[in-house]
Amino acid sequence: MAGTDRSRAVSVDAALAPVIILVRPQLGENIGTAARAMLNCGLSELRLVSPRDGWPDAKAHAAASGADSVIDQAKLYADLPAAVADLQRVIACTARPRDMVHRLIAPEKAAAELRAWAARGERSGVMFGPERSGLTNEDLGMAEAILTIPLNPAYASLNLAQAVLLVGYEFSRSHFEAPAEQMVNNELTRPATKEELTGLFEHLERELDESGFLRIKEKRPSMVRNIRSALQRAQMTEQEVRTFHGIIKELSQKRKPPA
Amino acid sequence: MAGTDRSRAVSVDAALAPVIILVRPQLGENIGTAARAMLNCGLSELRLVSPRDGWPDAKAHAAASGADSVIDQAKLYADLPAAVADLQRVIACTARPRDMVHRLIAPEKAAAELRAWAARGERSGVMFGPERSGLTNEDLGMAEAILTIPLNPAYASLNLAQAVLLVGYEFSRSHFEAPAEQMVNNELTRPATKEELTGLFEHLERELDESGFLRIKEKRPSMVRNIRSALQRAQMTEQEVRTFHGIIKELSQKRKPPA
């Protein structure tokens, strides 16, 4: 619901999208909400490395409402090497490691690498650690890069599903993103032509001249320019121009004494 | 916890960061988790327009653990015009409007506009509608642009806190983001010099010559080149070069018959 776009039907190619690997997740509910976050971003392949409460997990299913397909097809592995065995690239999503030299990448860079690997036909995955403790240095030994999500250092606590959402969002934005800016529902009408706008400006200025609003001659050019500029920025449609003609007419008639 | 960076102490200037406005939110729990998402992104000013269950709300406080400051300072308004009265710019986060002409912007563009407004000292806000129904067209009349989050059109359902998180993340990334790529914990050691690397290559090649691995004369140059290239890509530290000298020595000794 909140602020999402259902109007575009583009999907992520499952064979190219990264696998999401949850390493020793503790709470079934988090597995379920992570599955939802995956599906929000068009990701469908979930792998689980020895979840604490076993698998299948009723709580995971309950929390995944609507993303059941992701949960139903999730694969279970005994250890991380087995879970990533067929992958060619693995990124670890974790806090900055403390005592290990590693390549650290920002989410945007990670998404670009994932897309570049996919374009070359390379299978990739992103792994997330247990809720409480995160990935171990041994786990990190399976990854070629570490992705750390940039957040408020004073309050960086994110739950598992939110971390999956942010990583999936970065990966999938190129698939789902609309143009940076567009006018919507323009099919209801069309942008006004400059001639139509000029007609509106002239109508308004005629009325303002008549009312005396523009009576100070030396100020008139700049006032007209400023009014036109403000109305230009509104990027009116043809329909709106007609509406404003009506408004000007209506207001002018109220001002004029009845004939 | 998962994949966040606690090491950088940069914060968003509260007077410049956008206000988050929750319009007629239904569940206190969502207000609390939205407050957490705000704080994750360094946003601190929350405004509530007639929350369904009144205010203060114990459930909101309970769900905001760690982000109590945001909840404690949240301001309550009877209607949207009052909540945005002092703001100069308002973006509405909602699904693409169906029967209204409006300017639709992508999250990145919205974040850029919010930052540009802040840089000019203009106060801005981002508003989110009720969980079930979203913002009304009347609400949208208060916004200069509509932000729609690009997600899988087949599964675009996001909860309120997740929507706030994604918008806050886009806004705050320029504050918290590390360089696109870096080597971390290099202070434990330092990148190897090319001379050190060359010393390693020569050590390895000497042993490989001795073992007969490089015996086919016409293939030797390309084999050496390929091995060197692979090891160059590892971007070894000085410490790692020493480790690999040890490895080569160790393996060679095993191969050599005892003297």
Per-residue model confidence (pLDDT) at position B1: 41
CB contact under 8 A, A150 and B184: no
Region B157-180: what's the mean pLDDT?
Answer: 88
Task: Tell me which of A78-82, A107-111, B137-141 is least confident.
Answer: B137-141
Q: How many CB atoms lie within 10 A of CB B76?
A: 14
The DSSP code sequence of chain A is: -TTB--S------TTTSPEEEEES---HHHHHHHHHHHHHTT---EEEES-TT-SS-HHHHHHTTT-HHHHHT-EEESSHHHHTTT-SEEEEE-SPPSSS-EEEE-HHHHHHHHHHHHHTT--EEEEE--TTT---HHHHTT-SEEE-B---TTS----HHHHHHHHHHHHHHHHHPPPSEEEESGGGS-BPPHHHHHHHHHHHHHHHHHHTTT--TTTHHHHHHHHHHHHHHT--BHHHHHHHHHHHHHHHHHHSPP-
Instruction: Give the per-residue pLDDT at A5.
Output: 45
Q: How distant is the Cα of B209 from the closest Cα of chain A, in angstroms?
A: 31
Q: Is the pLDDT of residue B257 over 80?
A: no
User: Which residue in the block uniquely carries the two structure tokens 């065995």?
Assistant: A85
Chain A residues closer than 8 Å to B98 by CB? 185
Contact call for B6 and A96, based on CB within 8 A: yes
User: In this model, does residue A10 exceed pLDDT 50?
Assistant: no
* Inter-chain touch A157–B93, beta carbons under 8 Å: no
Q: Shortest Cα distance from A5 to chain B (angstroms)?
A: 5
Q: Does the pLDDT value for residue A214 go beyond 60?
A: yes
Which pLDDT score, from 0 to 100, does residue B186 have? Answer: 67
User: CA-nearest residue of chain A to B92?
Assistant: A3
Average pLDDT score, chain A: 87
Chain A positions touching B97 (Cβ under 8 A) are 184-185
Angle value at C-alpha A44, between A13 and B94, nearest 5 degrees = 90
- Who wins on pLDDT, B200 or A16? B200
Residue of A nearest to B153 (CA): A6
How confident is residue B103, by pLDDT bands cut at 50, 70 and 90? confident
Cis status of the peptide bond prior to A81, with omega within 30 of 0: no
pLDDT for A28 beyond 70: yes
Complex prediction ipTM: 0.81
Q: What's the whole-number average pLDDT of chain B?
A: 87
| Beta carbons of B177 and A150 less than 8 Å apart | yes
How far apart are the CA of B211 and the nearest CA of chain A, in angstroms? 30
Min distance A13 CA to chain B CA atoms (Å): 12
Q: β-strand A124-128 against A19-23: which pairing, if any?
A: parallel
Give the mean pLDDT of B46-71: 96
* Range scoring the smallest mean pLDDT among A96-110, A152-166, B32-46: A96-110
Give the count of beta carbons closer than 10 Å to the beta carbon of residue B252.
16
Q: What percent of chain A is predicted at pLDDT more than 90?
A: 50
Residue A147's DSSP bridge partners are A93, A105
Minimal C-alpha gap between A257 and chain B (Å)? 33
- CA B20 to CA B37: how far, in whole Å? 11
Taking 60 as the threshold, does the pLDDT of residue B8 lie above it?
no
B1 and A95 within 8 Å at the Cβ level: the answer is yes
Supply the pLDDT for residue B99.
74
* Contact residues, chain B, for A155 at CB < 8 Å: 36, 39-40, 66-67
Contact list, B162 vs chain A (CB under 8 Å): 2, 37, 40, 161-162, 165
Q: Do A184 and B99 touch (CB under 8 A)?
A: no
**Residue A51, pLDDT above cutoff 90:** yes
* B37 Cα to chain A: minimum distance (Å): 8
Q: Output the pLDDT for position B237.
A: 87
Read off the pLDDT band of B46 (50, 70, 90). Answer: very high
* B188: Cα within 13 Å, side-chain hemisphere: 13
Q: Which residues of A touch B5 (CB under 8 A)?
A: 95-96, 148-151, 153, 156
Residue B207, Cβ neighbours under 10 Å: how many?
18
- Token code pair at residue B252: 């060679």
- pLDDT value at position A119? 87
CA distance A36 to B252: 53
Check A109 against B152: CB less than 8 A apart.
no
Using CB atoms within 10 Å of the CB of residue B219, give its burial: 0 to 12 exposed, 13 to 18 middle, 19+ buried. Answer: exposed
Peptide bond into A51 cis (omega under 30): no
Q: Which residues of B touch A157 (CB under 8 A)?
A: 1, 4, 36, 40, 66
CA pair distance A138, B31, nearest whole angstrom: 38
Of A95-104, A198-207, B2-11, B121-130, minimum mean pLDDT range: B2-11
Closest chain B residue to the Cα of A6, Cα to Cα? B153
Q: Which two tokens stand for residue A227?
A: 């009014």
In chain B, the percentage of residues whose pLDDT exceeds 70 is 92
What average pLDDT score do residues A106-113 get?
Answer: 92
